[in-house]
Amino acid sequence: MTPQLPDPAEPHRPPPPAGWRRTAARLPSHLFRMGLGPLFRGRLLLLVHTGRVSGLARRTTVEVVESTVTDGRHCWTVASGFGPGADWYRNLVRTPQATVQAGRRFHVVTAQFVAAEEGGELMARYAARHPALAHRLCSYLGYDVDGSTDGYRRAGESIPFVRLIAGSPHAGSPPASRPR
């Protein structure tokens, strides 16, 4: 069997962090669990999802790209910077029901996967709000962006975005670990 060559149009995504970088990347999850979620002022969520193999509760901190409230229901859009192979993304594909912690409140959510075209628009809006951060993020993920709206739109079309929609306008309770 011959190895497949990488698609030159697809950027080289970095591997997930290891060592001390992994420890640092997990720090926000620990802060959420200690009740310090309000420190992130809505920029980060603690996503509690079901492991696709184990069936156990898994926790991941994700950055909010866009947040809205419609008909009293919260809706957060997040991006999978490590692509569709990220464990939390694959877990949501398998079981789209999850819980998010925003600040100190828990919300039961359902994941909806965003189309590529809408992902491009989301990234363009994000870049307009956070230009330096968007540029660093795209560079880290291997996208060559020139700082234009079209450049961010093209990058956003290949980044998987997920919309997390709250099931009710009221806060839920934290999930229990599911048995196998």
Whether pTM > 0.75 for this model: the answer is yes
* Selection from 67, 70, 72, 21 nearest residue 44 by Cα: 67
Q: What are phi and psi of 135, to 5 degrees?
A: -65, -45
Residue 107 has what DSSP assignment? E
Q: How confident is the model at residue 1 (pLDDT cuts 50, 70, 90)?
A: very low
Start-to-end Cα distance in the chain: 36
The three-point CA angle 112-67-115 to 5° equals 35
The runs of H, that is alpha helices, within the chain are 20-33, 87-94, 116-129, 131-140, 149-156
Is the pLDDT at 99 greater than 70? The verdict is: yes
Is the pLDDT at 130 greater than 70? The verdict is: yes
* Selection from 36, 105, 84, 92 nearest residue 60 by Cα: 92
pLDDT tens track for 43-96? 899 999 999 999 999 999 998 999 999 888 999 999 998 888 899 999 999 999
The runs of H, that is alpha helices, within 15-103 are 20-33, 87-94
Q: How confident is the model at residue 171 (pLDDT cuts 50, 70, 90)?
A: very low
Q: What are phi and psi of 24, to 5 degrees?
A: -65, -40
The CATH classification number of 20-166 equals 2.30.110.10
Long-range contacts of residues 88-91, Cβ cutoff 8 Å, at least 24 apart: 88/47, 88/49, 88/58, 88/60, 88/62, 89/160, 89/162, 90/52, 91/49, 91/50, 91/51, 91/52, 91/58
Nearest 10 degrees: Cα torsion 32, 107, 45, 116: 160
Q: How confident is the model at residue 144 (pLDDT cuts 50, 70, 90)?
A: confident
